[in-house]
């Protein structure tokens, strides 16, 4: 693709995750009203001013994902694009920086994991029959998009490059951009409900070639991307594997049930208004009085 085509593609990429992904139900389970207000903001096509930092981080991830998708499709390489004379936003430049750093330092997905990427941006469920089955099992629509589907043929290569002990076979891959690396990632990704949900739905629809697990392929947004750990800090790249073999279907079903009810009834959860590092954006803006 030419520089212009890349730019147009990135500018026209919709920002937003799966409309009824497990992330949506988790958010609604935390606070139904927040999920409602976020949906309204999305429909009005407005950013939430008080959550501009979140929006910015989200946009970086969106651009990065789009570039990875184009690369897997063979439409881009790691050539140097120069957007310095264009009017492009910070988030896009940051997404580009991470993408180029990733390919320069760690190479393509297939090279690193000893295999071949056989799909990208794969929707789940992929068929109307799959959709109906999901509704039957979970009581509502649950959707997602798999960043990449990977067939590993040489697990020794994956181990040497990432430290992950894989088997020969199919894996789902999720690309993540993180503010920094954290020991918490080990827990978050090993026991990820997103991974459990995606794997369950994917394997339900692909019984002939089921996936063995989900890999989380993480790049940290360090100012200087570090290929390996050095005196300044740890590597800017890490890979994690969901602990396979967990059957979380009941847990996912419960989350969907609670999230759906909270969203439909717009139930507020005042315990969430000022929890975490920053107050809820709707609390700061006064859009929600929390009662």
Question: Within 13 A of 230's CA, how many CA atoms are on the CB side?
Answer: 7
> Using CB under 6 A, which of the segments 28-36, 41-49, 92-100, 103-111 binds ligand SF4?
28-36
Question: Which residue lies nearer to ligand SF4 by CB, 119 or 270?
Answer: 270
Question: Please, what is the minimum distance in Å from the beta carbon of residue 22 to ligand SF4?
Answer: 19
Q: Coil, strand or helix: which one is 11?
A: helix
Using CB under 6 A as the binding rule, whether residue 268 contacts ligand SF4 is answered as: yes
Alpha helices in 107-192 (DSSP H): 109-113, 128-138, 155-162, 184-190
Question: Which residue lies nearer to ligand SF4 by CB, 132 or 271?
Answer: 271
Q: Coil, strand or helix: which one is 24?
A: helix
Cβ 101 vs Cβ 130: under 8 Å: no
Using CB under 6 A as the binding rule, whether residue 27 contacts ligand SF4 is answered as: no
Question: Please, what is the minimum distance in Å from the beta carbon of residue 48 to ligand SF4?
Answer: 11
Question: Please, what is the minimum distance in Å from the beta carbon of residue 38 to ligand SF4?
Answer: 9
Using CB under 6 A as the binding rule, whether residue 100 contacts ligand SF4 is answered as: no
> Using CB under 6 A, which of the segments 41-49, 76-84, 225-233, 268-276 binds ligand SF4?
268-276
> Using CB under 6 A, which of the segments 135-143, 158-166, 169-177, 264-272 binds ligand SF4?
264-272
Q: Is 10 exposed, middle or buried (0-12, 13-18, 19+ CB in 10 A)?
A: buried
Cβ 142 vs Cβ 194: under 8 Å: no
> Using CB under 6 A, which of the segments 104-112, 185-193, 206-214, 279-287 binds ligand SF4?
279-287
Task: Find the angle CA(148)-CA(150)-CA(154) to the nearest 5 degrees.
Answer: 150
**Cα dist. 280→18, 115, 274, 277 in Å?**
22, 43, 6, 10
| Interacting residue with ligand SF4 among 27, 34, 63, 112 (CB under 6 A) | 34
Q: Which of 147, 57, 61, 148 is nearest to 96 (CA)?
A: 61
Question: Which residue lies nearer to ligand SF4 by CB, 101 or 268?
Answer: 268
| Interacting residue with ligand SF4 among 27, 33, 65, 170 (CB under 6 A) | 33
Alpha helices in 3-89 (DSSP H): 3-11, 22-30, 32-43, 52-72
User: Given the DSSP bridges, would you call strands 115-124 and 144-152 parallel, antiparallel or unpaired?
Assistant: antiparallel
| Interacting residue with ligand SF4 among 10, 37, 117, 196 (CB under 6 A) | 37
Question: Please, what is the minimum distance in Å from the beta carbon of residue 284 to ligand SF4?
Answer: 8
Using CB under 6 A as the binding rule, whether residue 31 contacts ligand SF4 is answered as: yes
Residues that bind ligand SF4 (CB under 6 A): 31, 33-34, 37, 268-270, 272-273, 280, 282-283, 288, 290
């Amino acid at each position: 693709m030419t520089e212009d085509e890349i730019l147009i593609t990135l500018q026209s990429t919709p920002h937003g995750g799966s409309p009824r992904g497990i992330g949506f139900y988790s958010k609604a389970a935390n606070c139904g009203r927040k999920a409602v207000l976020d949906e309204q903001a999305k429909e009005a096509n407005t950013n939430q001013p008080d959550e501009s930092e979140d929006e910015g981080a989200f946009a970086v991830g969106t651009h990065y994902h789009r570039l990875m998708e184009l690369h897997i499709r063979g439409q881009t390489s790691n050539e140097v694009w120069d957007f310095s004379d264009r009017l492009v936003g910070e988030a896009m430049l940051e997404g580009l920086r991470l993408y180029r750093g990733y390919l320069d330092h760690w190479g393509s997905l297939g090279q690193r994991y000893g295999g071949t990427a056989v799909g990208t941006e794969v929707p789940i469920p992929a068929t109307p029959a799959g959709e109906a089955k999901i509704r039957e099992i979970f009581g509502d629509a649950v959707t997602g998009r798999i960043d990449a589907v990977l067939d590993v043929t040489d697990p020794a290569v994956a181990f040497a490059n990432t430290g992950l002990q894989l088997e020969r076979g199919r894996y789902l891959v999720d690309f993540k951009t993180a503010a920094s690396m954290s020991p918490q990632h080990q827990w978050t990704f090993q026991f990820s409900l997103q991974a459990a949900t995606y794997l369950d739905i994917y394997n339900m629809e692909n019984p002939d070639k089921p996936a063995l697990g989900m890999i989380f392929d993480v790049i940290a947004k360090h100012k200087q991307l570090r290929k390996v750990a050095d005196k300044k800090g740890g590597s800017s790249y890490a890979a994690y594997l969901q602990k396979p073999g967990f059957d979380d279907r009941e847990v996912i079903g419960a989350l969907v049930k609670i999230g759906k009810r909270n969203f439909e009834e717009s139930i507020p959860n005042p315990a969430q208004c000022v929890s975490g590092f920053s107050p809820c954006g709707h609390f700061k803006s006064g859009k929600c009085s929390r009662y």
